[in-house]
Amino acid sequence: MKILFIHCNYFSYLTTQRTKVAEDIPNGCKSCAFKDALVVFITAERFDEKNPQKVVDMGIKEIVKVSKKVGANSVVLFPFVHLSDEISNAETGSEIIKSLYENLSSLNYTVDKAPFGWEKVFSMTSKGHPLAELSRTIRP
């Protein structure tokens, strides 16, 4: 799994087009905006298909560690296949992001998840401190 963290003053997205692997959007929410959030761009990779639970466990540790370092209590998970050229199948990618969401919620984070499988327009303003942009590669 590849992760790109961006600590944002402001982040918003708008869903624009459904793809063939798109999930239904809960409550019809097609657009959301957040202030002071850690935005986590996520790409699930083929390697992750072997042990998705291990990837989720390792991913949670990294997200929690980074959120504590930057002082962010709000996390936005953003499916983003563009971080790797070795992406996983859609089912694995969707399940990993859903599991990350559920785990972070159970840890009392304010967490949101952009819909999987949708084309989206997004806008952001990053914080600009030394840890505002970070990346990680997680291997099972």
Give the pTM: 0.93
Per CATH, domain 2-137 is 3.30.365.10? no
Which residues fall within 8 angstroms of residue 124, CB to CB, at 6 or more apart? 6, 8, 10, 11, 12, 39
pLDDT band at 140 (very low <50, low <70, confident <90, very high): confident
pLDDT in the model for residue 30: 79
Kindly state the average pLDDT of the residues 18-39.
86
The pLDDT confidence band at residue 28, using thresholds 50, 70 and 90, is low
With beta carbons less than 8 A apart as the criterion, state whether 107 and 28 touch: no
pLDDT > 90 in the chain, percent: 89
Q: Which residues contact 38 (CB under 8 A, 6 or more apart)?
A: 5, 6, 7, 8, 63, 66, 67, 70, 72, 74, 75, 76
Lowest mean pLDDT among 17-31, 45-59, 68-82: 17-31
Q: Give the whole-angstrom CA distance, residue 122 versus residue 107.
A: 27
Element (H, E) at 91: helix 90-106
E strand or H helix at 101:
helix 90-106
Residue spans per domain, the chain: 2-137
Give the amino acid at 30: K
